[in-house]
Chains A and B, each alone.
Chain A
């Protein structure tokens, strides 16, 4: 299997605070990798370094075989235009959706193809229709984001990212800002993407979702990958004490499986 994304010895510090410490990670085509970890462990920072929303302090990012930036791992340099081109190849979904409020749903989805990829109008429309349909919101094309529920807004944000036809998608706690009853529809959309073979790197606190959808789960602690493996190994039979503690915290209030018959 080919690797879509290779992260090599990635480190990131904010001043004296070392947030990521020599992370190595490869994501193969079509796989879904879920990152879990306590608050402040560096999950967001890791995702944000992948598409250079934060500039790594050291290390390399390789996207489909292309090394981003120039230099050795210790001192890379990046040009603005190179980073912009790179980001266009990576989709990102944010906790707070960040839809453009002055554009309709459809315009939101067309914006990337139009402004960044310079697609013609017909192509932009084709993509908008296609990806809005995919997230089940074709019927909201002409609405403004403020008229949508949180769950719908997040699905539009997913469509907006998909319209760039990215090589990998990043999700940073895509459901954390949602009312509980709206979480399901967004997770469902993400699951469908995974089933379609999209390559995804997902930060989430939804362990049930991670268990069902992930090919691989990483437990991040103090800027390092402390434990990784398939969902069974990490979420059910963790080996590290820190992972066990984290899972204990998340499991304290779990209900038994509901009887739906």
Chain B
């Protein structure tokens, strides 16, 4: 089959695509920062043996790990405004879905990271007279976070990919811009090819970095 590839529209609409790329990055960064921040607390609650902390945290994690992010984003956009007094725009709905998902996953990374530290480390810190917070801050987290870095970077890569789901509620990130341009210039094949390359260029260097860090942070090195 003969097909005349024509990437002219990519250049014509570069302004729209540039906006899309920026929005993708903004959404990813906001969700990553918030997701890691809340993840630390949910992870600590998951680590706790007190039911009042542990049970709700576990329920939260299971709920958001075991439902598709796409559904979560759509739910916050369409259903949430009906049952709450809040107006939810596309950015907010996408942020809610992605932050909660990232929180759930990163809390598991925190919890597993903290649990991977030998009991003797807690004991040594405690025996010196450190409070629980000091033990955590000076001894446990500095070791645990090193082990968590590769897992967090993987999450970040996943998150950048997941931002494309926000296109279903018309948030103007890269995927949505491509869809809009394809609709007006009748060239979906070229547009989707182009954004695939953009995503790749955005993510690939990061993936290399993850690989490097995984080697660097291997236990025992």
Q: Which positions in A face B, CB cutoff 8 Å?
A: 51, 53, 80-81, 84-92, 94, 96, 98-102, 111-112, 115-116, 146, 157, 160-161, 164
Contact A92 B127 (CB under 8 A): yes
A84 touching B129 in the complex, CB below 8 Å, given contacts A98-B123, A98-B124: yes
| Range, interface on chain B | 20 to 34
B108-124: which residues lie under 8 A (CB-CB) from chain A?
Answer: 118, 120-121, 123-124
Contact B146 A84 (CB under 8 A): no
Q: Pick the 3 closest A-B CB pairs, nearest first.
A: A88-B129, A98-B124, A98-B120
Q: Which of B121, B129, B220 contacts A164 (CB 8 A)?
A: B129
Q: Which positions in B face A, CB cutoff 8 Å?
A: 118, 120-121, 123-132, 134, 138-139, 142-143, 146, 220
In the complex formed, the residue of A with least CB distance to B117 is: A101
Contact B123 A116 (CB under 8 A): no
Nearest CB on A from B129, distance (A): 3
Contact B123 A88 (CB under 8 A): no
Contact B143 A51 (CB under 8 A): no
Chain B at the A interface: SS class: helix
A84 touching B120 in the complex, CB below 8 Å, given contacts A100-B139, A102-B142, A102-B146: no
**Supplied contacts A100-B124, A116-B129, 18 more A-B pairs, CB within 8 Å:** A85-B129, A91-B127, A94-B120, A94-B124, A96-B120, A98-B120, A98-B123, A98-B124, A99-B124, A100-B125, A100-B143, A111-B138, A115-B130, A115-B134, A116-B128, A146-B220, A161-B127, A164-B129
A111 touching B128 in the complex, CB below 8 Å, given contacts A94-B123, A96-B120, A98-B121: yes
A116 touching B130 in the complex, CB below 8 Å, given contacts A100-B139, A101-B143, A102-B146: yes
Contact A84 B124 (CB under 8 A): no
Nearest CB on A from B106, distance (A): 21
Contact A51 B127 (CB under 8 A): yes
Question: Chain B contacts of A111 at CB under 8 A?
Answer: 128, 138
7 A-B interface contacts by CB (under 8 A): A53-B123, A80-B132, A86-B129, A87-B128, A91-B127, A94-B127, A96-B120
Nearest CB on B from A132, distance (A): 16
Contact A112 B129 (CB under 8 A): yes
Q: CA–CA, A151 to B6, complex, Å?
A: 72
A112 touching B128 in the complex, CB below 8 Å, given contacts A101-B143, A102-B143: yes
Nearest CB on A from B140, distance (A): 10
Question: Chain A contacts of B132 at CB under 8 A?
Answer: 80
Question: Chain A contacts of B118 at CB under 8 A?
Answer: 98
Question: Chain A contacts of B121 at CB under 8 A?
Answer: 98, 100
Q: CA–CA, A96 to B129, complex, Å?
A: 19
In the complex formed, the residue of A with least CB distance to B122 is: A98
Q: CA–CA, A157 to B125, complex, Å?
A: 12
Question: Chain B contacts of A101 at CB under 8 A?
Answer: 143
Q: CA–CA, A86 to B220, complex, Å?
A: 34
Nearest CB on A from B5, distance (A): 54
Question: Chain A contacts of B131 at CB under 8 A?
Answer: 80-81, 84
Contact B126 A53 (CB under 8 A): yes
Q: CA–CA, A82 to B129, complex, Å?
A: 10
Question: Chain B contacts of A88 at CB under 8 A?
Answer: 128-129
Q: Which of A87, A89, A91, A96 contacts B126 (CB 8 A)?
A: A87
Nearest CB on A from B206, distance (A): 25
Contact A87 B146 (CB under 8 A): no
Q: CA–CA, A100 to B132, complex, Å?
A: 16
Nearest CB on B from A206, distance (A): 21
Question: Chain A contacts of B128 at CB under 8 A?
Answer: 87-88, 111-112, 115-116, 160-161, 164
Nearest CB on A from B92, distance (A): 39
Question: Chain B contacts of A91 at CB under 8 A?
Answer: 127
